[in-house]
């Protein structure tokens, strides 16, 4: 009966200690057993343990042959006869200790990941070095002058490491494609704000600047339109005066408009495609549309395929975008071509000089299709570059990328424990910027607005991004904040205090509205942006000094990307997370699993500290209620 009640979730006083090896039972001693479960509910650390205890006891009872002799189930009101005074002792099943998670990971860890190059985030190279000294990095003098013009005086760790791997050697300057010795793919995990964008923009611009004919040679895929715009601006700024044509496709403009920007000649069937851009930056959905619906759009010339925010993009299926993109970069096999029936060759089939990528030359019908040894290792020279602050190590996802001899680069401070470097990446223990300070405030859900007002007014939280869980809560919080400021202005009567300006930044705004709000925030006409996770990844606004997670993030990746909107490029920044009391255990566990609990300091804010704000808050709540009642009545 107790077993049934335990499974049904009733409180049952079961404790494994009851089954003493000497066969003695607590009931025997007459000492009442404590109500174990209630006690455990107040103990955050051991709740999981208690479930295990209960199950162990339950399964132990199920396994006990003597239970068959227990009294039959009784009806309601009938007193349950006491358990037999002694229960047989039996050994608990012994199980080997579970292997450490790190051990499990290392056993199945991708070999390339296990040999990752760990880079110290403090590594940098000043741009003031002379040509000889700079030759190790490989950046030309023209590019160095451009960077100096832009106020960049040194290369960050991720850039210092990547540039020598990606910049064209003298040999590559003459031959961009190396179908018989294709380049290795590269996966980079580096903290937020560590300069990953320039780590690929610089070598791409430097490499492609030597090309004379325009072909689509670099494709950068990003998860959002805002990021596409940001990366486009970086390419344009860095590539100024280099004659490179940079395009974007995101679906923000009509399909026909995008086609006109992309393709020079749609009507002639050209085997080599016809591109008006050297570099294309896009979101995956729209890229698919062009791949399937734009004549003359070809990826055969791709030399670089960049997947930025790789873990997020690989989690998106979008008509299986990755498989289709990879297929479009690969030449069809020679056999396929030989096997085709000879068709009459027309002028339209013959590409312009330089139009077919070297790996695709066998498609040219006027070239005799005789197989030679040279045909055997004809591979695309497209090099995949993956970036994220939270790079995934999921073997399935990695396999889908068809990486060629991948090289992993992990920018991460040397860790104190053994699970460092690539294991840290595999176990999702991501590295944070060293200049970031992290705090958490555990509070009652109803106090969250007051805590936020307190942070803004007492801790100088301005130039801040505040993350909520949904567009609806964003709207509500912005209204409440406005009413609070109105009440505060009226209440304090201080003419010289200016209200804090708060705006929503959410997915229900049009692109132009979003652009305008972001601009006001950047020029500090808006103090605080309240937003959803729309801009939690990649967005680079240098003056963000604080990030507040008004609603706590649900996983570590989200946490890393949110807090990473501040403390970028070596600047300082503060991240605050408001954690509701019932979420505290989960949140702390999340931090602990990521080895991050020690870094986040707990801030305690007492009711007394909030007292001076309560009257304004209550006034704001009343106004908010009126607005919602009015909106509801209008709606009816
Ligand atoms: N060498 C450098 N010197 C000075 N500033 C730099 C340098 N490299 C990059 N930055 C600046 O650092 C900021 C952050 O760079 P970036 O946006 O590339 O970071 P990220 O690593 O991609 O971050 P996230 O993971 O959040 O996308 C940008 O404003 C960029 O202009």
The region that residue 500 occupies, defined by phi over 0 for left and psi between -120 and 50 for alpha, beta otherwise, is beta
- Position 21 pLDDT exceeds 50: no
For a mutational test of ligand 1's pocket, the pick from 128, 190, 197, i.e. the residue with the most ligand atoms closer than 8 A to its C-beta, is 197
**pLDDT given for residue 35 in this prediction:** 41
pLDDT tens digits, 57-74: 333 333 333 333 333 443
SS3 439: strand
Phi first, then psi, for residue 112 (nearest 5°) are -65, -40
Distance CA 127, CA 336 (A): 50
Average pLDDT, the chain: 79
Q: Is the CB of 566 inside a 6 Å radius of any atom of ligand 1?
A: no
**Which atom of ligand 1 has the smallest separation from the CA of 389?**
25
Q: Is the CB of 156 inside a 6 Å radius of any atom of ligand 1?
A: yes
**pLDDT given for residue 251 in this prediction:** 92
Q: Cα dist. 614→195, 483, 579 in Å?
A: 43, 13, 20
- Position 171 pLDDT exceeds 90: no
pLDDT tens digits, 568-596: 999 999 999 999 999 999 999 999 999 89
Q: Is the CB of 194 inside a 6 Å radius of any atom of ligand 1?
A: yes
Q: Is the CB of 573 inside a 6 Å radius of any atom of ligand 1?
A: no
**pLDDT given for residue 38 in this prediction:** 37
Distance CA 38, CA 12 (A): 11
Asked which of 119-128, 394-403, 452-461, 521-530 is least confident by mean pLDDT, the reply is 394-403
Closest C-alpha among 218, 216, 321 to residue 270: 216
Q: Is the CB of 223 inside a 6 Å radius of any atom of ligand 1?
A: no
Neighbour count for residue 87 (Cβ, 10 Å): 20
For a mutational test of ligand 1's pocket, the pick from 148, 568, 572, i.e. the residue with the most ligand atoms closer than 8 A to its C-beta, is 568
Cβ atoms 231, 385 nearer than 8 A: no
Compare 51 and 123 and report the one with higher pLDDT: 123
**Which atom of ligand 1 has the smallest separation from the CA of 234?**
31
* Bridge partners, 247 (sequence order): 280
Q: Is the CB of 237 inside a 6 Å radius of any atom of ligand 1?
A: no
SS3 497: coil
Q: Is the CB of 121 inside a 6 Å radius of any atom of ligand 1?
A: no
**Which atom of ligand 1 has the smallest separation from the CA of 154?**
1
How are beta strands 154-155 and 125-126 bridged, if at all? Answer: antiparallel
Ligand 1 center to 409 CA (angstroms): 17
For a mutational test of ligand 1's pocket, the pick from 153, 156, 159, 193, i.e. the residue with the most ligand atoms closer than 8 A to its C-beta, is 193
Compare 301 and 369 and report the one with higher pLDDT: 301
Ligand 1 center to 568 CA (angstroms): 7
pLDDT tens digits, 196-235: 999 999 999 999 988 888 899 999 999 999 999 999 999 9
- Position 304 pLDDT exceeds 70: yes
pLDDT tens digits, 145-164: 999 999 999 999 999 999 99
Compare 105 and 487 and report the one with higher pLDDT: 487
Distance CA 289, CA 10 (A): 56
Q: Is the CB of 155 inside a 6 Å radius of any atom of ligand 1?
A: yes
**Which atom of ligand 1 has the smallest separation from the CA of 190?**
21
Cβ atoms 207, 387 nearer than 8 A: no
Nearest protein Cα to ligand 1, atom 27: 538
How are beta strands 436-443 and 546-549 bridged, if at all? Answer: unpaired
For a mutational test of ligand 1's pocket, the pick from 129, 569, 575, i.e. the residue with the most ligand atoms closer than 8 A to its C-beta, is 569
pLDDT tens digits, 103-119: 655 666 677 777 788 89
Ligand 1 center to 123 CA (angstroms): 15
**pLDDT given for residue 16 in this prediction:** 35
Distance CA 531, CA 471 (A): 7
Nearest protein Cα to ligand 1, atom 15: 195
Asked which of 229-233, 488-492, 613-617 is least confident by mean pLDDT, the reply is 488-492
Ligand 1 center to 198 CA (angstroms): 7
Distance of CA 177 to the CA centre of its chain: 32
Ligand 1 center to 384 CA (angstroms): 20
Distance of CA 498 to the CA centre of its chain: 37
Tell me the H-state helices in 240-368. 255-262, 284-293, 310-314, 321-329, 334-339
**pLDDT given for residue 365 in this prediction:** 55
For a mutational test of ligand 1's pocket, the pick from 119, 121, 195, i.e. the residue with the most ligand atoms closer than 8 A to its C-beta, is 195
For a mutational test of ligand 1's pocket, the pick from 119, 163, 540, i.e. the residue with the most ligand atoms closer than 8 A to its C-beta, is 540
Place of tokens 């305690």: 604
Sign of CA dihedral 16, 22, 25, 26: negative
- Position 367 pLDDT exceeds 80: no
**Which atom of ligand 1 has the smallest separation from the CA of 230?**
17
Q: 114: burial class by Cβ within 10 Å (0-12, 13-18, 19+)? A: middle
DSSP conformational letter for 297: -
**Which atom of ligand 1 has the smallest separation from the CA of 565?**
26
**Which atom of ligand 1 has the smallest separation from the CA of 158?**
21
């Amino acid at each position: 009966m107790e077993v049934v009640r335990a499974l049904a979730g009733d409180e049952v006083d079961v404790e494994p200690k009851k089954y003493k090896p000497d066969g003695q039972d607590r009931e025997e001693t007459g000492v009442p057993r404590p109500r174990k479960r209630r006690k455990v509910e107040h103990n955050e650390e051991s709740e999981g343990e208690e479930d295990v205890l209960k199950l162990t006891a339950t399964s132990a009872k199920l396994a006990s042959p003597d239970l068959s002799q227990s009294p039959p189930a009784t009806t309601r009101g009938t007193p349950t006869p006491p358990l037999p005074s002694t229960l047989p002792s039996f050994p608990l099943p012994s199980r080997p200790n579970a292997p450490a998670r790190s051990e499990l990971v290392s056993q199945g860890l991708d070999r390339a990941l296990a040999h990752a190059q760990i880079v110290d985030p403090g590594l940098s190279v000043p741009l003031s070095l002379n040509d000889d000294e700079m030759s190790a990095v490989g950046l030309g003098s023209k590019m160095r002058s451009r960077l100096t013009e832009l106020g960049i005086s040194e290369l960050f760790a991720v850039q210092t490491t990547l540039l020598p791997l990606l910049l064209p050697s003298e040999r590559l300057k003459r031959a961009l494609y190396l179908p018989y010795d294709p380049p290795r793919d590269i996966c980079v995990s580096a903290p937020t704000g560590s300069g990953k964008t320039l780590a690929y923009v610089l070598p791409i611009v430097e490499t492609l600047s030597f090309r004379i004919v325009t072909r689509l040679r670099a494709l950068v895929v990003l998860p959002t339109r805002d990021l596409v715009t940001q990366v486009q601006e970086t390419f344009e700024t860095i590539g100024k005066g280099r004659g490179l044509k940079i395009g974007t496709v995101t679906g923000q403009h009509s399909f026909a408009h995008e086609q006109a920007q992309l393709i020079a000649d749609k009507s002639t069937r050209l085997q080599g495609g016809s591109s008006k851009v050297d570099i294309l930056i896009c979101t995956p959905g729209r890229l698919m549309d062009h791949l399937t619906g734009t004549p003359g759009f070809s990826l055969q010339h791709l030399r670089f395929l960049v997947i930025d925010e790789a873990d997020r993009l690989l989690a998106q299926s979008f008509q299986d975008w990755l498989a289709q993109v990879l297929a479009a970069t690969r030449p069809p096999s020679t056999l396929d071509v030989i096997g085709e029936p000879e068709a009459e060759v027309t002028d339209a089939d013959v590409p312009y000089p330089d139009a077919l990528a070297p790996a695709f030359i066998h498609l040219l019908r006027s070239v005799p299709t005789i197989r030679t040894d040279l045909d055997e290792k004809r591979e695309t020279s497209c090099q995949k570059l993956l970036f994220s602050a939270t790079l995934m190590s999921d073997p399935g996802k990695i396999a889908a990328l068809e990486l060629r001899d991948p090289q992993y680069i992990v920018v991460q401070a040397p860790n104190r424990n053994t699970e460092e470097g690539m294991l840290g990446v595999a176990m999702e223990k991501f590295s944070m910027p060293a200049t970031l300070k992290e705090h958490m405030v555990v509070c009652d859900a109803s106090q969250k607005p007051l805590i936020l007002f307190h942070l803004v007014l007492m801790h100088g939280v301005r130039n801040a991004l505040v993350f909520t869980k949904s567009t609806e809560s964003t709207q509500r919080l912005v209204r409440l904040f406005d009413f609070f400021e109105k009440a505060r202005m009226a209440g304090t009567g201080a003419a010289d205090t200016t209200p804090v300006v708060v705006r929503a930044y959410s997915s229900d705004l049009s692109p132009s509205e979003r652009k305008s709000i972001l601009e006001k925030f950047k020029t500090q006409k808006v103090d605080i942006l309240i937003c959803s996770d729309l801009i939690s990844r990649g967005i680079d606004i240098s003056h963000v000094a604080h990030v507040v997670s008004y609603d706590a993030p649900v996983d570590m990746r989200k946490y890393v990307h949110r807090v990473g909107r501040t403390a970028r490029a070596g600047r300082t920044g503060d991240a605050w997370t408001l954690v509701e009391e019932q979420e505290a255990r989960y949140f702390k566990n999340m931090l602990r699993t990521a080895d991050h609990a020690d870094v986040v300091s707990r801030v305690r804010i007492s009711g007394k500290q909030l007292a001076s704000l309560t009257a304004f808050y209550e006034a704001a709540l009343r106004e908010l209620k009126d607005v919602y009642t009015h909106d509801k009545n209008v709606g009816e």
